[in-house]
Structure 1
Amino acid sequence: MRTSNKVRSNTKRSNVKDITQKTLERYNDVFADIINVLLFKGENVVLEDSLIDALPMSTLKMEGKIKSQYRDIAKYWNNSKINVSMFGLENQSKPEKFMPFRIFGYDGAEYVRQSKKENKKEAKYPVITLVLYFGYNGRWNQPRSLFELLDIDEKIKPYVNDFKMNLFEIAYLERETIDKFKSDFWILADYLYQMRVNNDYIAGDTVIKHVDELLMLMSAMTKDDRFEETINELSRKESVTMCEVLDKVEARGRKEGVISVLISLVKDGILSISEAAKRADMSEESFKQYLKS
């Protein structure tokens, strides 16, 4: 099943997209899947039940004021109640010039926090942040390290520590890598890959585990609200695939096309509201809501 090219503009879309990405990735099965594929080539190193949510907020002092900074998602990787590592995910739909500064600040704040723990003898752990870039119309074209941002005199460069981001361009991963994802993240990665390569998307029959979160994300990614609007229709089903979702999306598109014609006929005085509502197979009240929108 293919997606329609119909899209809708929404000035708040980028914020919605950010929120929905975070919601899907907050699930341990999705989070562990991302880490295992991108860092460990698909080996099941990080287990779901070894992950514990970390506070995404940290504070820093700037110009005499305490300011808060927020990661997208952060989780501790535990082994027998001992932190092995802290993983952070940062989502980017567009390249951002100062991203290395942001990541450096997040990681640095976590190391400072470790240094201030009451139990100074407690084992310290590394902090690893992954930047996930979801763009498929172009590669990441902004700095990936501090050195690319800083204007450094060559005389002092040997004494300046560089900091490189762990950047992953999801749409540009090898097909073999994408197919190692086992969670719902595979559907997103597959979508981005197909859109980059073919400028089109053919859905498969993979069963979706986190239906609401994935459909909200697809709605934000495609700028098509119909994905989100199908959630209630599919919520009662035990298993849902993207092919079924796209069938519903296309059916909604056809119905909305009919409603659009009926609205024009009502506004032109050719049909009454009651007759138009009957042809649209809906109540008069529901049809009036379309007239108002």
Structure 2
Amino acid sequence: MGQKDIAEKILEAYNDVFSDIVNVLLFNGEQILKENELEDQAPRSAYKADGKYREIERDVAKRWKNGNIRLACIGLENQTESDADMPLRIIGYDGAEYRAQLSHKNHSERYPVVTLVLYYGYEKHWDKPLSLMERLDVPEKFKPFVNDYKVNLFEIAYLREEQAKLFKSDFRVVADYFVQMRTTGTYIGSPEELVHVQETLSLMSVMTGDHRFEAVLSEEDGTKGVVIKTMCDVLDRIEEKGRMEGRMEGRMEEKKEIAIKLHSMNMKDTDIANVVKVSLDLVRKWLGITPA
């Protein structure tokens, strides 16, 4: 399992985040799903093909319960790019859950399956099929007999600002980031405190490709006096780290210039390394010297 998948699942697997996503995207913020009504569902299911059992795996899936009665199964799938085969994938996920219900001895144990696809692209809209009929090349006379199946797609970066503000969990940071990047090309952090700091920053890092979020996370250490509670703290740390790296790069550039000048004065590379206080390998790299 890739690090990207792991990071997505860790944050969204929290009941407060999962219920928040569903309530905002499906019910416009109305608190229909309660976090204490959700139970984890094993994301893997098996099917038989070519005489062998194979597995398919959702990103995150939970069952919604009222006491001992299961009301629905809800799955989340994350996409950073459009996928033409998404309708077929969703059928596979949903069909596996329905097939599992057939194995229940209690015949009243039947409930709907709903899958939400969360698309994080912000440079362009999703541009691939959103239904089975769009994906298949169906002969005209055959169309009345082919059941369609649609994808419940939600483009996070294209949510209205008032929609993004409905999120109450840490997912609000994720939504806010992508909405801001689409609309302004820049990001201004929120002063609201995060509950799942590590998971939120890990998700931000892999979904944006900006590993500075992850770097800030690795530096959060009480012994160093670094405390990350909000996205404002995160951006402050990124800015400070950038300044420090800039100063270090400046000092190294000065050392390089001195090394080149000393080399032009016929000083040995070993002596140059001692003078500028860097490794001999680095001095030789600066000077283009290949070790004998």
The match for 2:215 is 229
For 1:241, the equivalent position in structure 2 comes to 230
Counterpart position of 2:240: 251
- The one-letter code matched in structure 1 to 2:90 is I
Gaps of 5+ in 2: 260-271, 280-292
1:169 lines up with 2:155 in the alignment: yes
Q: 1:58 to 1:49 in 2, by over 3 A?
A: same
Of residues 93, 98, 116, the one that matches 1:106 is 93
**Equivalent residue, structure 1, for 2:81:** 94
Deviations 1:126-168 (A, max 9, x none): 1110000000000000000100011111212111100001110
Alpha-carbon distance in structure 2 between the residues aligned to 1:244 and 1:205: 8
Paired residues, number: 266
2:31 is the alignment partner of 1:44: yes
Is 2:149 the counterpart of 1:155? Answer: no
Q: CA-to-partner distance for each residue in 1:222-275, whole Å, 9 max, x for gaps?
A: 323221122244454777111111000111111112222334445566486897
The corresponding residue for 1:140 is: 126
Tell which structure's C-alpha radius of gyration is larger: 2
1:178 aligns with 2:167: no
* Cα distance in 1, alignment partners of residues 58 and 277 from structure 2: 50
Distance across 2 between alignment mates of 1:43 and 1:275: 64
1:263–1:276 contact (8 Å) kept in structure 2: no
* Counterpart in the other structure of 2:194: 208
1:79 has 2:79 as partner: no
CA contact (8 A) 2:38 2:62 kept: yes
Q: Which has the higher contact order (CA 8 A, sep 6+)?
A: 1
- Distance in 2, matches of 1:39 and 1:238, equals 35
Change (3 A) 1:135 1:274: farther
Distance 1:276 1:215 in 2: 36
Q: Choose from 9, 22, 27 the match for 2:9.
A: 22
Q: Conserved in 2, the CA contact under 8 Å of 1:90 and 1:132?
A: yes
Distance 1:153 1:221 in 2: 39
Whole-angstrom CA distance in 2 between matches of 1:196 and 1:276:
46
Bigger drift between 235-244 and 154-163 goes to 235-244
Q: Which moved more, 1:53-62 or 1:233-242?
A: 233-242
Structure 1: which amino acid aligns with 2:101?
Answer: Q
Equivalent of residue 18 in structure 2, options 16, 31, 50: 31
Q: Is the 8 A contact 1:207 1:239 kept in 2?
A: no
Q: Percent identity?
A: 47
**Which stretch shows the higher mean deviation, 50-59 or 119-128?**
119-128
CA contact (8 A) 1:100 1:146 kept: yes
CA contact (8 A) 1:262 1:276 kept: no
Pair 1:121–1:221, CA change in 2 (3 A): closer
Q: Aligned letter for 2:16?
A: D
